[in-house]
């Protein structure tokens, strides 16, 4: 018996255990090779073999102690080579944030006003390109296209660079004291002084509605992340627009980053008599169908159907135009393509991102992160595939520089024109 134990010990001792980095890379490589069903035409085994060589070089000094952190950038580079926005690495922190958004509760954990702003070429000013619904900026009336020219009376042109501008704004907000933003708005370049105070906010996004003075309802859907909440909210807002006698609607999908398919298809039912998507995997062994019709959501998985009543459904039947841009992605593209195919609304803007015919599925990794991979391809009820991107009926280019300098939102103006309504500002 002692001789047997000695022999086993010798054999086990001769085996080299894989490092944490290798274990993580092996897991990610398997997921890519076995499940990937996106548009990339690369040889997946050759791809993973090349990056295995990169990992070997990176881990040579540590060998079996090489850590997860050595593998992560190599995995990121590997999936980036697929050039597929539905396939990407999620850090443990990013995965946590994604799960919070799915629950509709993503706390900021710091004082925020709820805007996304970008630099303007040739200027220190900042252009607001997104406003979080219900945040301080939204409540104070800040809007897409507003140009921030001063903070607490100090012109941004006095600051040495863009980094200093961002730091100045961040510090002003996180001081907890009221902040005065000087902005320029609209083609008239109206100067406004807007006071607001930062607070902790929910960064999860929800649909919002604004009724313009000309009676046009603007329904914005930033994403479809919050489970059980986005689709219902879309129908509530459509009903509100009807109750307020809106004469027409602009569906704002610019920047919509996608999210949950069920939320997208329930939202689509506010504009379509039947909303439908079928998903098929790489091996043609899984077929999942999602359909909303006659007040019911039916999900059929490999021939087994489950249905649920949706008593909150309503249906917009007035004039409708959809705004899209190069950041309209995934579920946003699905919705735009479905409305265009059904001929219930023209699309205005520029072609969308280009992942509107696949869905992504997250696969958990041993380091606490995940790898999201293009897993299914999507089809309409007639069997034709969804297009990779939605191509507008009216192509209208618009640059941030043009918007910042003129205050004119050209795609929005074209949307009004398509509705037969003359632009009269906000």
* Residue that the structure tokens 């919070």 belong to: 100
* 303 and 402 in a common domain: yes
* 270 and 379 in a common domain: yes
pLDDT at 12: 35
> Would you say residue 296 has pLDDT above 50?
yes
Is 11 part of any domain? no
Contacts of 41 (CB under 8 A, 6+ apart): none
**Cβ–Cβ contacts within 10 Å for residue 418, how many?**
20
- Do 351 and 391 touch, CB atoms closer than 8 A? yes
Q: For residue range 27-80, what is the model confidence (pLDDT) as tens digits? A: 999 999 999 999 999 999 999 999 999 999 999 999 899 999 999 999 999 999
* 301 and 392 in a common domain: yes
> Would you say residue 424 has pLDDT above 80?
no
Confidence of residue 5 (pLDDT cuts 50, 70, 90): very low
Please identify, among 145, 170, 196, the residue that sits at the C-terminal boundary of a domain. 196
**What is the count of structural domains for the chain?**
2
* 335 and 406 in a common domain: yes
* 219 and 147 in a common domain: no
> Would you say residue 9 has pLDDT above 70?
no
* 286 and 263 in a common domain: yes
Element spanning 80, H or E: helix 68-80
Element spanning 166, H or E: helix 162-174
pLDDT at 63: 86
In the structure encoding, which two tokens stand for residue 142, read together?
A: 């800040």
> Would you say residue 309 has pLDDT above 80?
yes
Least reliable range by pLDDT among 5-9, 161-165, 266-270, 359-363: 5-9
CATH of the domain at 152: 2.30.42.10
Strand-pair category, 216-220 with 248-252: parallel
Query: How large is the angle between the packed helices 261-268 and 230-243, nearest 10 degrees?
Result: 20
* 216 and 191 in a common domain: no
Contacts of 4 (CB under 8 A, 6+ apart): none
* Residue that the structure tokens 């899209």 belong to: 324
State the average pLDDT over residues 372-383.
98
Q: For residue range 146-176, what is the model confidence (pLDDT) as tens digits? A: 999 999 999 999 999 999 999 999 999 999 9
Is 348 part of any domain? yes
Nearest to 386 by CA among 261, 292, 299: 261
> Would you say residue 425 has pLDDT above 60?
no
Q: For residue range 235-264, what is the model confidence (pLDDT) as tens digits? A: 999 999 999 999 999 999 999 999 999 999
> Would you say residue 3 has pLDDT above 50?
no
Mean pLDDT value across the chain: 94
Half-sphere exposure of 321 (CA within 13 A, CB side): 23
Element spanning 184, H or E: strand 179-185
> Would you say residue 16 has pLDDT above 80?
no
Confidence of residue 276 (pLDDT cuts 50, 70, 90): very high
CATH of the domain at 301: 3.90.226.10
> Would you say residue 335 has pLDDT above 70?
yes
Confidence of residue 422 (pLDDT cuts 50, 70, 90): confident
pLDDT at 6: 37
- Do 369 and 91 touch, CB atoms closer than 8 A? yes
* 319 and 212 in a common domain: yes
- Residue 161, domain extent: 115-196
Is 2 part of any domain? no
| Strand order across the 347-349 sheet | 208-211, 216-220, 248-252, 320-324, 347-349, 394-395
pLDDT at 8: 35
* 391 and 279 in a common domain: yes
In the structure encoding, which two tokens stand for residue 76, read together?
A: 């990121």
Q: Which residue has the higher pLDDT, 161 or 424?
A: 161
pLDDT at 156: 98
Least reliable range by pLDDT among 15-24, 335-344, 354-363: 15-24
State the average pLDDT over residues 379-403.
96
Is 299 part of any domain? yes
% of the chain surpassing 90 pLDDT: 93
> Would you say residue 423 has pLDDT above 80?
no
Please identify, among 196, 217, 250, the residue that sits at the C-terminal boundary of a domain. 196
User: What DSSP string describes 366-410?
Assistant: TTS-EEEEEEEEEE-TTSPBPPSS---SEE----HHHHHHH---H
Which residues, listed in sequence order, are joined to residue 322 by a DSSP beta bridge?
251, 347
Please identify, among 165, 196, 227, the residue that sits at the C-terminal boundary of a domain. 196
User: SS3 of 131, please?
Assistant: strand
* 286 and 186 in a common domain: no
pLDDT at 312: 97
Is 260 part of any domain? yes
């Amino acid at each position: 018996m002692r001789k047997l134990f000695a022999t086993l010990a010798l054999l086990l001792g001769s085996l080299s255990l894989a490092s944490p980095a290798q274990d993580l890379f092996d897991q990610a490589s398997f997921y890519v090779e076995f499940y990937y069903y996106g548009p990339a035409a690369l040889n997946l085994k050759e791809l993973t073999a090349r990056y295995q060589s990169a990992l070997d070089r990176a881990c040579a000094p540590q060998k079996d102690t090489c850590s997860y952190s050595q593998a992560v950038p190599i995995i990121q580079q590997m999936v980036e080579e697929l050039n597929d926005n539905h396939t990407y690495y999620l850090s443990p922190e990013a995965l946590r944030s994604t799960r919070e958004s799915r629950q509709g509760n993503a706390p900021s954990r710091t004082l925020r006003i709820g805007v996304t702003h970008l630099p303007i070429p040739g200027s220190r000013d900042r252009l607001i390109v997104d406003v979080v619904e219900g945040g301080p900026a939204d409540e104070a009336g800040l809007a897409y296209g507003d140009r921030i020219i001063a903070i607490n009376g100090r012109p941004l042109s006095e600051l040495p660079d863009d980094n200093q501008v961002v730091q100045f704004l961040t510090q002003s907000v996180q001081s907890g004291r009221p902040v005065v933003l000087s902005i320029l708005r609209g083609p008239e370049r109206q100067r406004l002084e807007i006071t607001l105070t930062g607070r902790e906010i929910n960064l999860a996004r929800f649909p919002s509605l604004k009724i313009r003075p000309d009676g046009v309802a603007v329904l914005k859907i930033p994403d479809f992340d919050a489970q059980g909440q986005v689709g219902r909210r879309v129908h509530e807002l459509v009903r509100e627009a009807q109750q307020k006698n809106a004469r027409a609607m602009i569906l704002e999908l610019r920047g919509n980053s996608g999210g949950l398919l069920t939320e997208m298809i329930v939202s689509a039912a506010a504009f379509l008599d039947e909303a439908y998507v079928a998903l098929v995997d790489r091996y043609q062994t899984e077929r999942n169908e999602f359909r909303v019709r006659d007040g019911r959501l039916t999900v059929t998985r490999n021939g087994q159907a489950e249905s649920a009543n949706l008593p909150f459904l309503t249906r917009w039947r007035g004039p409708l135009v959809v705004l899209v841009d190069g950041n309209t992605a995934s579920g946003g593209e699905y919705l735009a393509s479905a409305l265009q195919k059904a001929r219930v609304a023209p699309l205005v803007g520029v072609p969308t991102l280009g992942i509107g015919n696949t869905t992504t599925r997250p696969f958990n990794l041993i380091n606490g992160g995940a790898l999201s991979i293009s897993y299914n391809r999507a089809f309409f009820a007639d069997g034709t595939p969804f297009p990779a991107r939605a191509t507008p009926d009216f192509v209208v280019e618009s640059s941030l520089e043009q918007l910042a300098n003129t205050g004119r939102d050209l795609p929005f103006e074209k949307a009004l024109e398509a509705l037969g309504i003359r632009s009269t500002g906000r």
